[in-house]
Structure 1
Amino acid sequence: MRLGLHALGIGSGADRAVIDAVASTADALGFATLWAGEHVVMVDQSASRYPYSDDGVIAVPAEADWLDPMIALGFAAAASSRIGIATGVLLLPEHNPVVVAKQAASLDRLSGGRLTLGVGVGWSRDEFAALAVPFERRAARTAEYAAAMRTLWRDDIASFTGEFVSFDSIRVNPKPVRSRRIPIVLGGNSDAALRRVAAWGDGWYGFNLDGVAAVRECIGKLNELCDGLNRDRSELRLAVALRSPSPEDVDELTALGVDELVLVESPPAHPGQAADWVSGLADRWMTKPH
């Protein structure tokens, strides 16, 4: 079981010195991945329900610093040499896919092939409105954008015709390091999100799940969906973040086929304390419980 850390880009995790300390220490101690999420805008009173809490309210204050994940992960990659970096998640339908393809390939190249692109369809109508992007049909837009980006990464001279994006005979360089591919992992815990994972994703990032039982239910659905599509579920990378994780959960998650447990934590605000904070997490989670 790999161990990931979702700690960068927000609040105290948006400080340059904290990013350096967390990334370098997590790299040295054997963490698998550093995750960073995204919201381009926040509002004080949202008209949309946050899907990952019981009360429908996101825990991050609207006034908190929230870095662009590509930029935050670029700094994390520069402060490390081995650990993977992942957006968790980038709200793909809010962006121009040609630009995202360029940004992702650039970050993948500069990090030596360490990027996983976690994407989501988004939940905040306010955010889509601020960006002048239609909220409706955002799932279809996301799927098409992902297909277009894969085309741009794969082909030297790329063409694509779709409902939401089209281009003809263009070159977008550099190309990703690993066989001109960047894994696209899909966020979301709903049945619709799991259908997207089975249909066209390279993996799943289940976020803020309420214990191992919720993971088991989601993976059971995912197994059925993959069977219906004649897809080998073992090809998918499964990463999950639990609301109240315990080291005792690791064996059960491993048995379910989870590849990575992601700890969602806030680092200390003082950079001098960040390395010890990461070491404390490693001591708790990387020592087999008796």
Structure 2
Amino acid sequence: MPKQPVTEQDISKQKNHQQKPIVLTIAGSDSGGGAGIQADIKAISATGGYACSVITALTAQNTQGVTAVHPTPQHIIQAQLDAVFSDLAVTAVKVGMLGDSDTIRTVAAALRRYRPAHLVVDPVMVTANGDMLLADDAVNCLREELLPLADVITPNLPEAAALLDAPLPTRLDDVESLFVGLAKLDCGAVLLKGGFLQQEARSPDWLLSAGQVRCFDTPRVMTGNTHGTGCTLSAALACYLGQGFTMEEAVARAKHYIDQAILAGSRVRIGQGRGPVDHFFAL
């Protein structure tokens, strides 16, 4: 007997009865397990959500870098999106690596159709090791198609500079030069990550929302094990938004979570390069 499609009433019943938020991550796979889909699933699980996924690309990747990328065909991305949204009562979505304009358009069209309650976009363009993960000609497409749908975007400093076509700040005093341009982007809010300011003893992130800037500042953990930190932070943020926290509360909780994960990960040796954080430090 053919399976009947899930109705809006069915989804409503799921939302009323589910114990934890269902959080969808749309991103690339990291074979090394430290970033991408793998990091997102760990972070969502560790912060109280149920993780599901749409894989946009397969990467051959480890702690030392990316050696190959195989984009997922568009019809498979679409099939994954339809499979998840037609059955699961998704509360929040985190979008990470998309790779090219076609994938951005496919994902954006699905998000416009299914309209999740919360959307976090991590505009993944380049890894911490310098490997490019977004085609140059896709940046405009990202701005036009995806950012307007986002409740919050989470660029690091190089990504923010690329979105604005602006110089990259290298000192803490220069970061404010990006605030005006970021505030004009067509999105709900911006969480600017300051982790690339390696010479600083602090690790500040800035939330630009409703014409205001709030700094979330913590001591920097001096470690090379920071692979996947951006993926982890944005996934945790999506999970906390899905639990009903306000934007500021969700950012504060996600910031605390990533800080503790980095601290715990600094004590562990995994791989020969930039190691991952410890997503399950609380266990």
- Fold conserved (TM > 0.5)? no
- Which of 1 and 2 has higher RCO (CA within 8 Å, sep 6+)? 1
- State the TM bucket, normalised to the shorter chain: 0.3 to 0.5
TM-score (norm 2): 0.38
